[in-house]
Amino acid sequence: MPRGPLPPLVHKIRCGRTLEELREGVFLSQDEVGERLGWSQSKVANLESATSGVKPDDLAKMLDLYDADDATRKECRELAELGRKQLLRRKGTLRSKFDGNMRQVVDMEVSAASVWCHNSMVIPGLLQTEDYMRYQFRAYRPSPTRDQIARFTEMRQGRQAVLDNTDQQFWFVIHEAALRSLENIDGDSSILRNQANRLMEAIDRPNVELQVAPFRHGYYPGQEETYMIFRFDTEPAVQVTYVEKYDGGDILHDEKNLTRFGTFWDHQRVHALGPEQTRPFLRELSRP
């Protein structure tokens, strides 16, 4: 199954990285580029970091200053143009149902080569059962209506179809707390049992790795963070992190945060049970 189209942000990042490499190739600092082009250093930095999209005239000035060859000029112009375009929001498509950063997350979920998720207190949306979703949405405040809960559930279930694409790899690390919080809800543990079974089914998927970090392993770096790392096998390679919050989330792609969450991920994978050790752990939770 082919992946979805790359989001504009990925093209902006690729263009910015290429411009940075070209600048470094002619041994100029951002300050020096700013002085020669009559810009501030911060403008150069924002263009290279994809904080801002580059306009055609500005791109031409930078490529002239860097004495870029024809092939590089063509590539940069194409990347800059793709970075300015918005993906079509066709009515009825999955992405059309989401807004803001969550729409970008949906775009990245279907287009990334690999997706890594760490969840501390909730099960990842891509792995949730329907009864878990409805339980979670009912806990929102202010309380959503029944129709809203049904719509939110349908939207989240629609996202889960991405797991069927074996051209993508998914890796989940889930803290035990996310599972234990489902024990004895309204005097019943059926949500926990159903969710544990769903996670065991996910382990059997050829493109999914799943680990649980148990309480007995103690604290580990980034334990409190819930985030997704999207990796794109472009040239140059691109990585984007989405950090989830109660009322939304942040999309990060600066070097400092990429390093920070990459370090968290390395620790979290080592700290958690391996996939085959996770299976019997989940099996115990699934027992009546």
Dump pLDDT digits (tens) for 63-94: 999 999 999 999 999 999 999 987 666 676 88
The predicted model scores a pTM of 0.94
Dump pLDDT digits (tens) for 4-22: 999 999 999 999 999 999 9
> In the predicted model, what is the mean pLDDT of residues 14-34?
97
Token pair of 109, please? 């979920």
> In the predicted model, what is the mean pLDDT of residues 97-125?
96
Looking at residue 89, what is its pLDDT? 65
Per the model's pLDDT, the better-predicted residue between 157 and 141 turns out to be 157
Dump pLDDT digits (tens) for 239-263: 999 999 877 899 999 999 999 999 9
Token pair of 89, please? 């929001």
| Every domain of the chain and the residues it spans | 8-84, 95-285
Sheet-wide strand order for 248-252:
208-213, 169-175, 114-119, 227-232, 238-245, 248-252
Looking at residue 1, what is its pLDDT? 83
Dump pLDDT digits (tens) for 164-223: 999 999 999 999 999 999 998 878 899 999 999 999 999 999 999 999 999 999 999 999
Given CATH 3.30.870, say whether it is the number of domain 95-285. Answer: yes
Looking at residue 93, what is its pLDDT? 82
Q: What is the chain's Cα-based Rg?
A: 22
> Cα–Cα distances in Å, from 22 out to 27, 53, 119?
9, 17, 38
> In the predicted model, what is the mean pLDDT of residues 112-123?
97
Looking at residue 109, what is its pLDDT? 98
Looking at residue 279, what is its pLDDT? 96
Dump pLDDT digits (tens) for 262-284: 999 999 999 999 999 999 999 99
Looking at residue 82, what is its pLDDT? 95
Classify domain 8-84 at the CATH class level: mainly alpha
Nearest by Cα to 54 from 33, 26, 34, 83:
83
Looking at residue 90, what is its pLDDT? 66
Looking at residue 92, what is its pLDDT? 65
